[in-house]
Amino acid sequence: MRKFKKGLVYLLFAIPVITQLYPLLWLLMYSLKTNEEILDGNFFAFPRAVQWGNYKTAFESGSYLKFLSNSVFVTAITMICVILLSSMVAYAISRFRWKYGNLVMTIFLMGMMIPMQATLLPLMIIFKNMHILNTHWSLILPYIAFSTPVSVFILSGFMKAIPHEIEESAFIDGASIYRIFRSIILPVSVPPMMTVCILTFINIWNEYILAATFISSEKLKTLPFGVYTFVSQYSVNYGAIGAFLVMGALPVILIYFFLSNQITKGMVAGAVKG
């Protein structure tokens, strides 16, 4: 009976592992095949001859560095703004005693319920009137808006558990609120901030809907648009598309792999201590 339970546990763990790893392995094999192998319908077969040239084609013909630099710029600016804004808001909500603290928190929580697709038309009109349509700011601003609510939720849950005696001692020593926030609260809140950074990065890196709606200039497009480079009127280079997708997903996979412990620590700290 004990062996049966142990086997059942392994099986339950194996199912999500397989379902998560299989698409990545399939995409990797897909990127190393020729068009003929891809179109013959045998999806599970290994490539007959590994086509490393697909990656060279994806890198050179797909303008990978251009799309990559655009994605890095948009993601980096968004992450910096989200960390600064959400940490200050979370500090005000969790550490200050003011009349509208719970109301402000509720408003941010309501922001988590708004679907991104519902804002496309009003944002299009607003950005057109602001003359920032077809610029990176038309992506950065909504990315910040949609990432801030969950960031505030995570950070405020952690900051509520920080002992007030630390702040009281700093006040007695003559430290201002800004000094306390900069020198005490921020260093202590590094684990949940890492969680916020990683979640924001993952959500934004491959975002397509807003980028397709607000960006039309070829030089401003981000990584998800690189696949269209290999689609012409009469032919499609499927192997190069697969290689481009692998290269686009690689930064996310590496960051999540090396920093997954930080996500767990930050989420647990915010959930338990809050």
What are the phi and psi torsion angles at 236 (to 5°)? -135, 130
Q: Transcribe 62-79 into DSSP letters.
A: TTHHHHHHHHHHHHHHHH
pLDDT at 269: 54
Highest-scoring range by mean pLDDT, 114-118, 142-146, 162-166, 236-240: 142-146
What are the phi and psi torsion angles at 99 (to 5°)? -60, -40
pLDDT at 272: 44
Can you tell me the mean pLDDT for 47-65?
88
CB 91 within 8 A of CB 185: yes
CATH number at residue 79: 1.10.3720.10
The answer to whether residue 262 is domain-embedded is: yes
> Three-state secondary structure along 172-206?
HCCCCHHHHHHHHHHHHCHHHHHHHHHHHHHHHHC
Question: Hey, what are 209's tokens?
Answer: 């809907």
Residues 6+ apart with CB under 8 A from 132: 138, 141
Q: How many domains does the chain have?
A: 1
The answer to whether residue 33 is domain-embedded is: no
How distant is the alpha carbon of residue 22 from its chain centre? 21
The answer to whether residue 9 is domain-embedded is: no
The answer to whether residue 137 is domain-embedded is: yes
The answer to whether residue 238 is domain-embedded is: no
CA nearest neighbour of 256 among 54, 20, 14: 20
Centre a 10 Å sphere on the Cβ of residue 160 and count the other Cβ atoms it contains.
14
What average pLDDT is seen over the chain?
84
* Confidence label for 273 from pLDDT (cuts 50, 70 and 90): very low
What tens digit of pLDDT does each residue of 170-189 get?
Answer: 888 888 888 888 888 888 88
Domain range for 143: 66-232+249-272
Residues 6+ apart with CB under 8 A from 37: 45, 47, 48
Please give the model's pTM, rounded to 2 decimal places: 0.82
What tens digit of pLDDT does each residue of 241-250 get?
Answer: 889 989 988 8
pLDDT at 124: 92
pLDDT above 70 coverage of the chain, percent: 93
Per-residue pLDDT at 266 exceeds 70: no
Can you tell me the mean pLDDT for 28-56?
85
Can you tell me the mean pLDDT for 69-91?
93
The answer to whether residue 29 is domain-embedded is: no
Per-residue pLDDT at 274 exceeds 50: no
The answer to whether residue 240 is domain-embedded is: no
Can you tell me the mean pLDDT for 69-73?
93
